[in-house]
Amino acid sequence: MIKKYVYGKPYLTRSYSEDFKEETGEPFPFQYQKTEKGYTFRYPLKEKDKIYGLGEATGKIDKRGKRWISFASDNGHHEDDTLSLYSAHNFIVIDGETPFGAFFDSPSTVIFDLAYTNKDEIVITSEKPFTLYLIFNTDAYSIIKEHRNASGKSYFPALWGFGYGQSRFSYFNEKQVMKVFKKHQKYQLPLDYICLDIHYMDEFEDFTFNKKRFPDPKGLVTTLKDEGVYIIPIVDCGLKVNEKPMIKEGLEKGYFVKKEDGTPFKAAVWPGFTYFVDFFKKDTKEYFGHLYSFYTDLGIEGFWNDMNEPSIFYSELTKDLPKEEKKKGNPDFEGNGYFQDYSSFFHVIDGQNVNHYEVHNLYGGLLCEACYDGVDKLLKDRRGVIFSRSSYSATHRYSGLWTGDNSSTYRHLRLNFNQLLGLNMEGFLFSGADTGGFGGNCSRSLLLRWLALSLWTPLFRNHCAIIFRPQECYHYRKKKDFRNLLNARYQLLPYIYSEFGKAVLRDDILFKPLSFIFKDDETATNIDDQLLFGDSVMICPILNKEKTRKVYLPVSMTEVRYDGKNFKETNVDRGWREIKVPLNELVFYILPDKCVPVTKPCLHTKDIDLSDVTLIGSGTEYEQYLDDGFTKDIKESNIRVIKK
């Protein structure tokens, strides 16, 4: 059951696909009051209550004890106590004797004090008008699925998007891109796509290729695609100020955001001064979406949308201000953007000028919607691949999500693990982190441990910054060890792809804490370094420098150990066990009476046969989602039962 409460006159975000009847009275179980700071909601916690959600928010899986400011922020130097990140995800579940969910549907700032100030109380404050949805059901898992159903189906990319991707900031020319492909080929390392960061562009301008460094982009795309490897270019937020036809059209038709005086707002990003598209206007979204034809005409089918919080280096209004003046605004804000810039430009919404600050959290998601709609038309009968850095709670309909600029540390490996449930709760099934870390010199052991985690995330990409050591797998010794883990991903793709498809169709999630299934096992409810993946698997990656770890089995399971050649199965009893996991091996568990389909190793998804599988585990049959990997016809009839 979902109850809807409206406070003030909020902008309608369309985050929920159904129009629920508006309730009156107190929003039970919250205690509500209107204050000078906005709208405040309190809820007393019991000792064993847990809190899940907040999307990509930092901190532990259980968010109790955390403070979070929902305001999409470019913050590449984040840690577990960081208050704001790239996206704004405002859904939480309080899991206790009386479980309930709460979605604070606000396009502006919401502050979540989840027993941070007072260990026994939640205090949530919204500065601006918003809509509150309260969800009631029998347990946390059911509440999440109800939220998922109301917020719409998750984005489902083409099969090749589930392959392994290699990226770097940046590959500077065609020669370097071909080297990446040939090195993977030489060492038999699976690969499905290569990402191009901003240096492929002409002076960092979107919808261009530098003619000297990339003289034949269509030829490059065609050559690699014939081999089974796709190109994914980055598309940054902001269109370079110049005299090109697309800019003249945008100015003439009023497609760009404006200052209060009605003149176009200019802000600096990578190419220098840019215009930001006003995505709150329907015709403007169509204009921007069609710009992607520049890439699709070259044969490109995948897109990486970045800097879309939007990230601003400075604007024409703040360029010459002292540093201390530039960051005036919200004292809790930790990101790089300038609040004075955000409050200095306006959108046209229903014929009215609305300050960007009022609707800031929606911007990155609206860019993704424009991209999705445009690419959907351009690719016609084929699914592409789209992922983004910034998003709001409904963006999962249009795009995948990667978690932004992380660091090459075991702390961030654990942070990556902790974010998986929250991202899935918000519908971002196609999600993942920069494997190995974007910033820092990733060690061999850290990269192998990260691969062992990331091979379970649908979005599986290795990405790092140019000022650090090369992070491609072939740069490290004993390349066979890396091949083992990449092979594991491709051999497990029948299961990963199938569970993804079923989750999309059934408004489900892929990653679940043990407490969702084993509610009556007190030990299981307190495990925070193991997760269930799909219907059959429990993952227990090593998230530190150790070679061993303890694993808790709530029931007897099948232990599976993969060494690069075989899936070795061992029946193990319920309880604690200590396992040793060499860097080149993968260990996971299959639940009782369940199966996992695996296939033969391959170098590219174009060579995989998802129907040619062997079932492992103690079960006798498996319910498999299966399509051709490109069709847009995602339907329940694509699910079949296969037996041993």
Catalytic residues: 306, 309, 405
* Two structure tokens written together for 318: 């703040």
H helix runs in 329-443, sequence order: 339-342, 356-359, 363-379, 410-425
* Buried-state track 35-56, b at ≥16 Cβ within 10 A, e below 16: eeebbbbbbebeeebbbbbbbb
Q: Which helix (H) or strand (E) holds 598?
A: strand 596-598
Calculate the alpha carbon distances from 504 to 71, 153, 155, 162, 507 in Å. 27, 6, 8, 15, 5
Q: Which of 526, 438, 485 is nearest to 75 (CA)?
A: 438
Calculate the alpha carbon distances from 276 to 230, 250, 256, 289, 356 in Å. 29, 10, 6, 14, 11
Q: Do 69 and 109 contact (CB within 8 A), yes or no?
A: yes
* Two structure tokens written together for 425: 């709760």
Q: Which helix (H) or strand (E) holds 622?
A: strand 621-625
User: Rounded to whole angstroms, how far apart are CA atoms 495 and 599?
Assistant: 9
Q: Do 435 and 407 contact (CB within 8 A), yes or no?
A: no
Give strand ranges (E) for 159-229.
164-166, 193-196
Beta bridge partners of 579: 549
User: Rounded to whole angstroms, how far apart are CA atoms 103 and 70?
Assistant: 12
Q: Which of 309, 279, 280, 3 is nearest to 131 (CA)?
A: 3
Q: Do 452 and 485 contact (CB within 8 A), yes or no?
A: yes
Q: Which helix (H) or strand (E) holds 2?
A: strand 2-7
Q: Which helix (H) or strand (E) holds 225?
A: helix 217-227
DSSP-assigned states of every residue in 230-289:
EEEEEEESSEE-SS-HHHHHHHHTT-B-B-TTSSBPEEEETTEEEEPB-TTSHHHHHHHH
Q: Do 52 and 93 contact (CB within 8 A), yes or no?
A: yes
Calculate the alpha carbon distances from 195 to 235, 319, 394, 413 in Å. 11, 32, 25, 22
* Two structure tokens written together for 468: 């650090």
Q: Do 596 and 622 contact (CB within 8 A), yes or no?
A: yes
The alpha carbon of 467 is separated from its chain's Cα centroid by a whole number of angstroms, namely 25
Beta pairing class for 164-166 and 460-462: parallel
User: Rounded to whole angstroms, how far apart are CA atoms 95 and 426?
Assistant: 17
Question: How many other C-beta atoms are found inside a 10 Å radius of the C-beta of residue 630?
Answer: 14
Residues 6+ apart with CB under 8 A from 487: 190, 564, 601
User: Rounded to whole angstroms, how far apart are CA atoms 94 and 149?
Assistant: 19
Question: How many other C-beta atoms are found inside a 10 Å radius of the C-beta of residue 173?
Answer: 16
Q: Which helix (H) or strand (E) holds 185?
A: helix 174-186
Q: Do 27 and 132 contact (CB within 8 A), yes or no?
A: yes
Alpha-carbon radius of gyration of the chain: 24
Q: Do 89 and 53 contact (CB within 8 A), yes or no?
A: yes
User: Rounded to whole angstroms, how far apart are CA atoms 516 and 523?
Assistant: 13
